[in-house]
A and B are shown apart, each in its own frame.
Chain A
């Protein structure tokens, strides 16, 4: 499966529509990565890379996490690590869990409908008139 690379800048994207589609999904993906428990920024990037094939540019995730925290979707705490410096861990708040649930339902419903529409295209058949 091809990786969904989130460009570092708009200019890096060859297809603006594809770039917009991916950007729209980043917020939901960031929230979803924290569903099982707390993670720090680099872990979120690696988690999304390995689990969703969404290769985020390293500078992309932190402003999004900052905004989601300002909106009350996330909380954060600094935790001392073996690395010799503390790491900032993010967790979902109750509002964040509810928001993610709403987003997941909307996404699944929307993508199911689109998949049905696109099946003939992928199978190289004519769409019904």
Chain B
């Protein structure tokens, strides 16, 4: 196999494994790596094969590009889908990533559920709320959320329409806090592991 064929073969594999990136990004990366291989072989007097071996498998090099760009873009995104996709990738890298992923799942599910129940309250007012049971002077929370059928007496709903304000506020704060925590964690992970 000639030198150019070896380089082309490596770059073809690299482009293939860079799949999720745009065509322009893939071509830019392939062009730069191609220039590096030619320069490195020429300047150090080593064979193209040796330079390609030093670069490592095209699949691993592509994974470094993909992970770096995915996490970098996600750390500036507000989209829960983009953020959770990046945390899922981070979760494959170690315990910190797994923790961030579960914090994300818990935070978005909790915040989303709170907001959703607040939006459902005007539609099913009798089935949505916070029910308590009084035992003399003490009060115990019997249930909360959207329930079909609603809890039977002596449990009674106490918040009324204040439930909407409370759940929308708490839900929004939980979603914001989760987004902030994930973005912060992704940035930290970039500094700790520049080669994720």
**Is B192 a contact of A23 with CB atoms below 8 Å?**
yes
Interface set, chain B 39-70, CB cutoff 8 A to A: 39-40, 42-43, 51, 54-56, 60-61, 64-65, 67-69
**Is B65 a contact of A70 with CB atoms below 8 Å?**
no
Main secondary structure of the interface of B (DSSP, over half): helix
Given A20-B193, A64-B68, A70-B73, does the pair A59, B32 have CB atoms closer than 8 Å? no
Q: How large is the interface on A (under 10, 10 to 19, 20 to 34, 35 or more residues)?
A: 20 to 34
**Is A62 a contact of B38 with CB atoms below 8 Å?**
no
Given A59-B56, A62-B32, does the pair A23, B42 have CB atoms closer than 8 Å? no
**Is A83 a contact of B38 with CB atoms below 8 Å?**
yes
**A71 to B190, alpha carbons, bound, how many Å?**
12
Question: Most A CB atoms within 10 A — which of B35, B54, B64, B193?
Answer: B35
Determine whether B191 belongs to the interface, using a CB cutoff of 8 Å to chain A.
yes
Determine whether B195 belongs to the interface, using a CB cutoff of 8 Å to chain A.
yes
**Is B33 a contact of A87 with CB atoms below 8 Å?**
no
Q: Which of A23, A58, A85, A87 is B195 in contact with, Cβ under 8 Å?
A: A23
Determine whether B79 belongs to the interface, using a CB cutoff of 8 Å to chain A.
no
**Is A9 a contact of B68 with CB atoms below 8 Å?**
no
**A60 to B194, alpha carbons, bound, how many Å?**
9
**Is B36 a contact of A41 with CB atoms below 8 Å?**
yes
Interface set, chain A 61-83, CB cutoff 8 A to B: 62-64, 66-67, 70-71, 78, 83
Task: Count how many pairs of residues, one from A and one from B, have CB atoms less than 8 Å apart in the complex.
Answer: 82
Determine whether B184 belongs to the interface, using a CB cutoff of 8 Å to chain A.
no
**Is A58 a contact of B38 with CB atoms below 8 Å?**
no
Q: Which of A6, A58, A83, A88 is B51 in contact with, Cβ under 8 Å?
A: A58
Q: Which of A20, A62, A87 is B29 in contact with, Cβ under 8 Å?
A: A62
**Is B38 a contact of A67 with CB atoms below 8 Å?**
no
**Is A83 a contact of B29 with CB atoms below 8 Å?**
no
Of all chain B residues, the one with the shortest Cβ separation from A78 is B31
Q: With both chains docked as a complex, state the minimum distance between the C-beta of B21 and any C-beta of chain A, in angstroms.
A: 10
Chain B positions within 8 Å of A9 at CB level:
56, 60
Q: With both chains docked as a complex, state the minimum distance between the C-beta of A3 and any C-beta of chain B, in angstroms.
A: 15
Determine whether A117 belongs to the interface, using a CB cutoff of 8 Å to chain B.
no
**Is A71 a contact of B72 with CB atoms below 8 Å?**
yes
**A78 to B28, alpha carbons, bound, how many Å?**
10
**Is B61 a contact of A63 with CB atoms below 8 Å?**
yes
Q: Which residues of A contact B (CB under 8 A)?
A: 6, 8-9, 20, 23-24, 26-27, 40-42, 57-60, 62-64, 66-67, 70-71, 78, 83, 85-88
For the complex with contacts A64-B68, A66-B65, A70-B73, 7 further pairs of A-B residues with Cβ separation under 8 Å are: A9-B56, A23-B192, A41-B32, A59-B60, A62-B29, A67-B190, A70-B72
Q: Which residues of B contact A (CB under 8 A)?
A: 29, 31-36, 38-40, 42-43, 51, 54-56, 60-61, 64-65, 67-69, 72-73, 190-195
